[in-house]
A and B are shown apart, each in its own frame.
Chain A
């Protein structure tokens, strides 16, 4: 065992020992916190509510927001079948599609909820839930689910293109025509991105 390894081990042990101390009265741990830059003022200061946050805490000015999200990644899977989802999840989503086609929306919902319990962060399941709720006319829920799918989708254009279509449908259901058109624009942009 090298010297570095031994010293590493000692350091780790020290860290563990530190971590097991009781929290009361501890102000800082490790090297993360700086020493206080100002000493406490009087113990009974008469400070007005909403007092200032120290200038050190200033944050950047809001800038005109370019799309700072990572670029769309066209190499991501095009459907749940190619996404590496677990076999039970794929069969449940397929079962849900079949139920939905046959008009058995309750069964479709139950299958998707089972799938979600297995892979709660699978964006394809969230998308399938959204399309179910567009069919059952639950606009608000459908939009939330499509948004969640987008958020979990890691910039997958194949997911997003359908999610924006669903968001447009969901907004139409709620009578938000302008919102629906904006969503449809995004949907069309994405369509052009996928098949220019």
Chain B
């Protein structure tokens, strides 16, 4: 024992020394390691915070509504437009975003908007007018007349990453309402401007509770901690993560100003979920829940937003309104107690309903089919990354008014068709496109009867046979040879068999299975007879028909005679393109859905300039359009004039495919081109022709849009002559039955017909007019 004791003492001493040395080493290693960790965290924070702080999805705007005297926008529709934009109807004008409605006038306090080509100031204006449109505009402040003004454009969607996509609308701290900022701090972090990123008292309290309960439960986060959590960390609740959060919060505060942190918070904080889209920040939340900009939010609305910050999945205003209202009232109570609002304001705000926007989706995500087209047009030029994170501002051609008119038609008319035809509910599908005739701008798109579904877009991707929609291009090709054909040329409606090398011969028949003898060219088109069309097409040649379609903007026409009857696959958008060229008198404008793309700071990045090129001769296009007017006046679509006012000249064509699988109508007025398709996704027959399926939908749409009549004045190279329709020859003066037909100048028939039907009795003249 004795011999061992000193050794043991020695061992103890050296052990202690070694122990101390090791401890020092371990401690220093830990310190170095911790320092490295802190440095890494610090770098992560600074990188993230100073570069792109938020992924900013591209924002997509509708075309702004222009207002000017003479615009054929009925006042009630203007009022509707204002409501869509989130303007509030009030008894006397308040701030921007409010309006007063009277019998023959609207007072509007418009919002300012920074258009790239010149800012639109916020204006208080008087709009006088009625059911026929706007008569006068004046500035309520100065009393001066206004020529032209435009409303702020509607935000219609955003392009965010498809998985777990964060969506937000940037808000600057200086632009945020005072009550939003102060109210948020009052509820979430009273001492924000005093602490260094963390609240020692809060942490102590939380630690005590966590230790007593045995697991991490209590949040007690400052605004800075919450921001860090949203920015960098997962939602798991561990001590390690909590520690990291505290550390990062302190680091963040050491590098950045309080206001920068607060602004980041306003834009970063999670505020709700819309399908796969995560709603981040107060800017978008304002739009998502109330369909208006933050500046226009009232106390009770601000209180709700501040209230749901606590837990948007739990406090979902649309699913749990009662619970959210309680939370909102609690927030209002806190505000009143801390003097942010006066007692009477508190009482008034508490009495308000939640006031969540009725659309369920704010202004965003209303028009997924249109946004799909926009995305597609952009994808050629911008990588996905740029679209989903750089905050591009995309100004489109969408007209919310036209879009909603089109949606309304499909929503109402498809079920009505099913009912009338005793088809199963939901069996019919439909799609539609509306463009503006001269500018080639896509104004509206519906990709299926489930309007809000951002999936398969039939307007863009459902390529189906177009049937008789192809016929006008056969006739156009013929009319481009004025020495051989004119609108009065008689065509034989007789059977025809086409022998095609290497396949069976083809014997088309008329839809009504009848033969009609010889018919004038325009009538063969108006009545959509197959046999004269095929004969005409064979005579002109497939190549010429291909050229006519190419001139109109479609380049994939197969070189087969069956294309004369529309054995040709096109999507509704393709059809809109070729009919748009007809509507624009042979001047082709590639359809476009975008006007400008701006950077997030509003600097122009790319302008999609209006493009036009004359690709088809005006005279023959006018003659074809004249015949297409006859389709509605006396042909397969004459029932359209039971719906469209008689004085409005429109042109169009029905299309039906084999076994009644597809029902089409395409046509135009002076201002709009519209295409409607109705059919089934499984390609089974619907029992509908173009005339009884798509056509009535089209006609009601044109009626709802209050379209402008086509200009009947022929171009300079076309002249008119009275023709005896029985012979196609020039009618002798005063012959009964003679009708005025347009011809290419210099190619009029010279031979006069004998007055077969006898001289015209004067009183019957007007009757002839009607039949025309």
Contacts and interface: CB of A to CB of B under 8 A. Distances in A.
Contact of B771 (A8, A15, A52): A15
B495 interface: yes
A36 B492 CA distance: 10
Interface in A17-52: 19-20, 22-47, 49-52
A4 B763 CA distance: 10
A59 B535 contact: no
Interface string B446-475: 000000000000000000000000000000
B68 interface: yes
Interface string B261-301: 00000000000000000000000000000000000000000
Contact of A45 (B436, B495, B561, B595): B495
Contact of B725 (A34, A39, A51, A87): A34
Contacts of A37: 517-518, 726
Contact of B497 (A45, A62, A87, A117): A45
A161 B409 CA distance: 47
A113 interface: yes
Contacts of A4: 763
A40 B749 contact: no
Given A54-B491, A54-B492, A91-B148, A19 B642 contact: yes
Contacts of A63: 746
A40 B116 CA distance: 65
B66 A24 contact: no
Contacts of A154: 713
Interface in A67-91: 68-70, 86-88, 91
Given A45-B496, A47-B494, A62-B747, A57 B147 contact: no
A107 interface: yes
Given A54-B491, A113-B439, A144-B613, A60 B747 contact: yes
A78 to B, nearest CB: 20
A19 B485 CA distance: 29
Contact of B535 (A22, A29, A53, A141): A53
B490 A56 contact: yes
Given A50-B538, A51-B539, A117 B492 contact: no
A54 B496 contact: no
- Chain B interface mostly: loop
A31 B737 contact: yes
Interface residues of B, number: 101
Contacts of A42: 495
B585 A62 contact: no
Contacts of A70: 716
A25 B689 CA distance: 13
Contacts of A118: 66, 68, 71
Contact of B517 (A40, A50, A66, A69): A40
B283 to A, nearest CB: 27
B195 to A, nearest CB: 49
A60 B691 contact: no
Contacts of B747: 59-60, 62
Contacts of A129: 610
A23 B635 contact: yes
Contacts of B515: 36, 40
Interface in B3-59: none
A166 interface: no
A68 B691 contact: no
B614 A144 contact: yes
A92 interface: yes
A61 interface: yes
Contacts of A39: 517
A148 B523 CA distance: 29
B482 A62 contact: yes
A59 B497 CA distance: 26
Interface string B575-612: 00000000001010000000110000000100101111
Contacts of B483: 59, 61-62
Interface residues of A, number: 81
A68 B745 contact: yes
In this complex, which of A4, A20, A47, A91 has the most chain B Cβ atoms within 10 angstroms of its Cβ?
A47
Nearest to B64: A114
A177 interface: no
Contacts of B436: 117, 120
A44 B507 contact: yes
A40 B678 CA distance: 34
A87 B717 CA distance: 31
B319 interface: no
Nearest to A27: B516
B117 interface: yes
B770 A57 contact: no
A109 B607 contact: yes
Interface in B620-654: 634-639, 641-642
A32 B749 contact: no
A59 B489 contact: yes
Contact of A24 (B511, B611, B717): B511
B148 A53 contact: no
B771 A107 contact: no
B439 A116 contact: yes
B521 A109 contact: no
A59 B485 contact: yes
Contacts of A62: 482-483, 746-747
B437 interface: yes
B495 A27 contact: no
A49 to B, nearest CB: 4
B496 A51 contact: yes
A32 B772 contact: yes
B642 A34 contact: no
A21 B332 CA distance: 65
Contacts of B614: 143-144, 147-148
B498 interface: yes
Given A45-B496, A70-B716, A53 B539 contact: yes
Contact of A53 (B492, B561, B768): B492
Contact of B514 (A11, A27, A33, A51): A27
A145 interface: yes
In this complex, which of B482, B499, B612, B713 has the most chain A Cβ atoms within 10 angstroms of its Cβ?
B612
Interface in B481-526: 482-486, 488-499, 507, 511-512, 514-521, 523
A140 B613 contact: yes
A58 B438 CA distance: 35
B728 interface: yes
A12 interface: yes
Contact of A47 (B496, B611, B612): B496
B727 interface: yes
B750 interface: yes
B568 interface: no
A106 B634 contact: no
B117 A53 contact: no
A33 B636 contact: no
Contacts of A30: 634, 770-771
B771 A29 contact: yes
A9 interface: no
A66 to B, nearest CB: 8
Contact of A110 (B117, B438, B536): B117
Contact of A148 (B486, B511, B587, B689): B587
Contacts of A8: 766
9 contacts: A22-B639, A47-B494, A58-B728, A59-B484, A87-B147, A88-B66, A88-B68, A121-B438, A148-B585
Given A45-B494, A49-B538, 15 more contacts: A4-B763, A12-B770, A27-B516, A28-B516, A36-B516, A37-B518, A38-B492, A40-B493, A47-B495, A53-B535, A63-B746, A68-B746, A86-B70, A109-B609, A116-B439
List the 5 shortest-distance A-B pairs measured between CB atoms, nearest first: A36-B517, A57-B489, A40-B515, A30-B771, A120-B438
